[in-house]
Structure 1
């Protein structure tokens, strides 16, 4: 603003000089008009311009030291920055040292990264090699390198089967069921086969004719693992088995359908049960045991309903089938036999047993399907030997199994075979027959050894309770029969009053 009035003052001054010399040049009529109009304008512009210029100069003069100071401060600051940015010789040496160290660290990191990458590549290669080796080992583990012997042990009216084989220099043994409670024939057989360690013991279900000697097996041999269904029982036999497992280092498992295992070169596939129903027979552990290309199927005492569930799951085909429930007609349905489609069927039963096992209809069903049939009551212990491809069947004695027209059981064999059969019969079986004979001639029916038929001579003991009684053996006294469903104190009094039952 001050500059504008200064400019006006200068113009007015110039105009005044010119007007005073020659008024017409600035379009004034006379000098008088110049003095009247131009000079006042010049004076006013000079006064206003001067008034405005002086404060501006004062402000400029007052700001000048500040600007100088600011410049000096800026210069000083810049100098300080320069001094800071320009390190001393020692600092330069240190900086150089740091740079060298940094470069070295970067180099080391690059080297470490390279080494790590190499190690990663090596680890991946090693892992791949380990995986390949493991796969090769697994492949080799499924390939038998020795013969497998499967012993269907003659254990009387009971079940016991031994798998005996070796793999890569190690011996393996698997035992499925362990005979009846009131004998030691299975334990003796294992000792005669020089068995010292058993990798797996399977109790297909907790009836005394399947887990009868399991407590002795666990106590006398080194057993790695025991399988049971998970159903409970109140029998002393079952309690002894649990005690033996608990007091040993034996592992315990309750398998379910769909589980798969490898024991050396033996593959174990569990087909039943998927879950428990509470029916001890129908919940029996059922499994296929495969050695190379040869397979064996076991179903304990599974009945037709359980067999139907397995058939619906599929994949049951096997070369050798152990008939379910000792060859009972409650098992071994036509659909189950067709699904297994075996070449050989083997059952375990006591000679002249009171149950009539194997039942005629099962014998006929197997024969009509052109399946080779063997039974421990006729042939004694049956041994199947396989190298994983081919197999052979050997028996303790010769015999032929045919369905009887008169009774539910038939076996035909010559006099020599009859003698051998008696010699091969288990101690438990002989004792039972002797006791049953004594009980028939006398009035006492031994609840720990009598047949199902003789047990029904006891008051309040019918067909169903006779089966329960047999599964719960042994009993300490007649009073222990309260463990049977439906037998209470008043019925125990009736049984005692009858005077037929006794516990030996």
Structure 2
């Protein structure tokens, strides 16, 4: 009987410290999981390859309190312009939403760069109302700890998936040290942050797959909406469609840096964007954005802008219309950026129906699926190959991509 009396006495105290306890529990779990073999964050960390295998969570505990005020009627009054910055952070993601009464950062760039905080300071950021880490990969939460250390951050959203990297630990430590409110949003929740309305469309629960758990949300300023899906891939896009999530938006930041593992046709048709934007690094080893996705968007007559060609892309809106400022990354200024086109290689493939990976030119090699400029260079350096199966020697070509290459039937060894 005395045991239950003590529990009743401690229960109110436990509820008070609930938010911090969640973060502390995540940090403790991370340390325990990684204490014997702590992985290091290296510049070559590949976020597209799924290195860990997790068992699905048996139970999802939903937070009892929403951190931001839930969406109510009438809609927020629009009193000025909002500016959305798709920040050029190389092969990573960081998007800043600034309005007359809100400052929100979705993802915070790569762990091996230091460009997010300087950019935020250059555009006058003083405090951050909401900092979102869509999922724990280091090209999305890489500089979250630096952001928390540099600015007063009122609230952090993360998916709830736990990682064992030092990057992830640093983020949790920063949240705890600065006593930042922490929350794990779920599909179906709606919030007003100032005059910006946010609708969460993913995840419903966690499976242990970081991409499936990516926080995805629609932000709406007046009549202008934007969709962010982090690294959500095909199966997650299909799940959002089956749940009939409200994903329609005029502006869509392409999933997974423009990868063909995301951005399926049915999803794009449901979003029905007027503009698509991707964030990726020049000559990245993944070949982002993938040619298949760009071709699909061009066929659908959807203009595409990307940080590779345009650097930081800025959209200004008054809540009714929007204007895109996306200069080309060259000395020659262009008034109107062109759509990303996929021009044919300057030289034809070898005779027949296959490309001999031991003799083909760089341009010819780039016709093979998953072979971009960087991988073509690696391929040439690794020659000769005894068979197509040896393409797994190339950084970023695993069993899955090898299957795609062989199924395509272009690559061969004569």
Normalising by the smaller structure, the TM-score range is 0.5 to 0.7
**Structure 1 pair 389/457, CA: closer, same or farther in 2 (3 Å)?**
closer
Does residue 148 (structure 1) correspond to residue 82 (structure 2)? The answer is: yes
Partners of 1:375 and 1:248 lie apart in 2 by 34
Partners of 1:268 and 1:186 lie apart in 2 by 23
What is the aligned partner in structure 2 of residue 183 from structure 1? 113
What is the aligned partner in structure 1 of residue 285 from structure 2? 354
What is the aligned partner in structure 2 of residue 206 from structure 1? 136
| Larger RCO: 1 or 2 (CA < 8 Å, sep 6+) | 2
Partners of 1:246 and 1:347 lie apart in 2 by 32
What is the aligned partner in structure 2 of residue 375 from structure 1? 306
Q: 1:256, 1:272 within 8 Å by CA — same for their partners in 2?
A: yes
Partners of 2:152 and 2:392 lie apart in 1 by 38
- The TM-score normalised by the length of structure 2 is 0.64
| Higher relative helix content | 1
- Larger Rg belongs to: 1
Secondary structure of 1:223's partner? coil
- The TM-score normalised by the length of structure 1 is 0.53
Partners of 1:456 and 1:298 lie apart in 2 by 34
Does residue 284 (structure 1) correspond to residue 214 (structure 2)? The answer is: yes
Partners of 2:227 and 2:298 lie apart in 1 by 18
Partners of 1:462 and 1:155 lie apart in 2 by 24
What is the aligned partner in structure 1 of residue 66 from structure 2? none
**Structure 1 pair 464/263, CA: closer, same or farther in 2 (3 Å)?**
farther
Secondary structure of 2:219's partner? strand
List structure 1 runs of 4+ shifted beyond 2 angstroms. 137-141, 396-400, 404-407, 453-458, 461-466
Partners of 1:253 and 1:454 lie apart in 2 by 43
Q: 2:76, 2:194 within 8 Å by CA — same for their partners in 1?
A: yes
Superposed displacement of residue 456, structure 1: 5.2
Counterpart selection for 2:192 from 262, 272, 277: 262
Gaps of 5+ in 2: 1-70, 329-333, 347-376, 382-389, 402-414
What is the aligned partner in structure 2 of residue 158 from structure 1? 92
Does residue 388 (structure 1) correspond to residue 319 (structure 2)? The answer is: yes
Superposed displacement of residue 463, structure 1: 2.9
Superposed displacement of residue 454, structure 1: 12
Cα deviations across residues 13-43 of structure 1 (Å, max 9, x unaligned)?
xxxxxxxxxxxxxxxxxxxxxxxxxxxxxxx
Superposed displacement of residue 249, structure 1: 2.1
Gaps of 5+ in 1: 1-136, 408-436, 442-452, 467-504
Partners of 1:246 and 1:270 lie apart in 2 by 25
Superposed displacement of residue 396, structure 1: 3.4
Matched ranges for 1:43-442 at <5 A = 142-167=76-101, 172-314=102-244, 315-397=246-328, 398=334, 399-400=337-338, 401-406=340-345
Cα deviations across residues 320-379 of structure 1 (Å, max 9, x unaligned)?
000000000000000100110000000000011111100011001111111111000001
What is the aligned partner in structure 1 of residue 40 from structure 2? none
Secondary structure of 1:215's partner? helix
